[in-house]
Amino acid sequence: MRLFAGTSRGLFTVDSGQINCVLEARGVREIVKIQDDLFVGTSEGLYKSVDDGNSWQGPHLAEFAIWQIRGDKNGRLYAGTHPAELFSSEDAGQTWRRLESFGRIVETEGWCIPIDPPVPSQARAIVVDPVEDGHLWVGVEVGGILETKDGGDTWSVGSPGGNPDLHMIFPHPEKGDVLFASTGYGRLDGVAEMVEGNAGVFRSSDAGISWDYVWKGIVPRYSRPMCIDHRAPYAITVASAPTAFSNYKDPEGAGAVLFRSEDEGDSWRSLCDESHSPSAVNFHGLTTHPDIPGSVFVGTDNGELWHVDADSHWELLVENLPAVLSVMAS
């Protein structure tokens, strides 16, 4: 098995104890294999490899930071960016077309990340319907969830529980109408209230028409990375921290926790061991183990990469990397 770790200063591989930097780029937030091609989203555009990271094409869309890349059953690719735009490709990522309709949505006029000064929102989550052509959802931080059923010609805008601060959206592996979304405290009016119901995990059982808050009574609430095991019981793993800025440099540490649900979000338990309860470092990269059900790989803001199994056993695999922002196992 080979691990890819996307960091603040490049893409690294971890293979049989050997660590190599295979791509020098800032802000590697996305690593995904679509068909046989490897795509990497960075703060400096999108890169593609047809030989598992030995050589690279790109950067494409170099004026954008790339947050997520997904493909549909017909081979069409979608890329979400910062500032919030959506692009598509019909030729395996060689050329890209901006979906102009995405930028013409009336609601985009109020989109921003409410820090001082405000910064533009970002399209950081994409879910493609595996059955219906042209049907996808796009999560915008801060802006909400946009849905199109006609390949991007028209859009509807909503938000789980009125929360527009979308971080990740994942579909249930077997139930096409079930979606999960991780959220933060951001609001379109610039107010970020740190109260229950304003951040955490939401679940939709009707393809995004309505949402239930499934993070009741759980702290910390600010939830970012999330992954779902494709094997039963389809465990959901979510990393959560007190705020958007929690990190290992804080005097008392980041205060982050890794949570797990095996019943579609009805109940949650901590995956943290004694030394990570809560964690002094924050978690950013997160992905499932391809060979061991219930196990995940998690990357931290102080440059560590861990393997965590379903019984909360933590194994340190790598340390002294730049901040780990994304992880992929192949």
* Beta-bridge mates of residue 226: 238
Q: Is residue 19 part of a domain?
A: no
Quick check: 115 pLDDT over 90?
no
Predicted confidence (pLDDT) per residue in 177-220, tens digit = 999 999 999 887 766 777 777 899 999 999 999 999 999 989 99
Q: Is residue 22 part of a domain?
A: no
How far is residue 267's CA from residue 239's CA, in Å, rounded to a whole number?
15
Predicted confidence (pLDDT) per residue in 42-51, tens digit = 999 999 999 9
Q: What is the band of 64 on the pLDDT scale with cuts at 50, 70, 90? A: very high
Name which of 77-81, 110-114, 128-132, 198-202 the model is least confident about: 110-114
Instruction: Tally helices (H) and strands (E) across the chain.
Output: 1, 28
Residue 108 pLDDT: 77
3-state SS, residue 106? helix
Residue 175 domain boundaries: 27-324
Q: Is residue 5 part of a domain?
A: no
What average pLDDT does the segment 145-153 reach?
94
Q: Number of folded domains in the chain?
A: 1
Q: Is residue 250 part of a domain?
A: yes
How far is residue 276's CA from residue 306's CA, in Å, rounded to a whole number?
12
Quick check: 295 pLDDT over 80?
yes
Q: Is residue 315 part of a domain?
A: yes
Residue 71 pLDDT: 97
How far is residue 23's CA from residue 99's CA, in Å, rounded to a whole number?
28
Q: Which residues contact 93 (CB under 8 A, 6 or more apart)?
A: 37, 39, 46, 48, 57, 60, 77
Q: What is the band of 171 on the pLDDT scale with cuts at 50, 70, 90? A: very high
Predicted confidence (pLDDT) per residue in 233-260, tens digit = 999 999 999 998 999 999 999 999 999 9
What CATH number is given to the structural domain containing 231?
Answer: 2.130.10.10
Spatial CA neighbour of 257 closest among 274, 236, 244, 240: 240
Higher pLDDT, 115 or 208: 208
Q: Is residue 4 part of a domain?
A: no
Q: Is residue 18 part of a domain?
A: no
Quick check: 118 pLDDT over 90?
no
Quick check: 69 pLDDT over 80?
yes
What average pLDDT does the segment 56-72 reach?
98
Q: Is residue 212 part of a domain?
A: yes
